[in-house]
Amino acid sequence: MARRRDLPAGLAVVHPRHRVPHRAEIALAVVVCLLVYYAIANASAFTQPARDRRWPRALNVLGLAGCLTLVATLPWRSVLAGAGVFAGGLVGRKIVLARRATASEAA
């Protein structure tokens, strides 16, 4: 799309060694991270008690559905790569928490 000028031309740059549009891949990774962030934010807001709620629950459902719809339109390889990055982050977080618990028990 960047080659046809539907997107900024800088996204069409192909890495000379790896032969991939690396700037476009990075931009897509940022978009996926933002969509996941907002999907989690909408899902979290849905669980708020009514007294703490500023907006109706239907808006949270609509926001979450919108994020998931946009993710579904992305290339499946990008979605898998993004899911892998998030899974790696969750595993890393679990390891850090386990080490902290072990260190506090030893102290």
Element (H, E) at 10: none
**Where would I find the H helices in the chain?**
22-46, 57-72, 76-106
- Which among 97, 26, 32, 92 has a CA at the least distance from the CA of 67? 32
- Domain ranges for the chain: 1-74, 76-107
The answer to whether the pTM exceeds 0.85 is no
Instruction: Print pLDDT tens along the chain (107 aa).
Output: 778 878 888 888 888 898 888 888 888 888 878 888 999 999 999 999 989 888 899 999 999 999 889 888 888 887 888 788 889 999 999 999 999 998 888 87
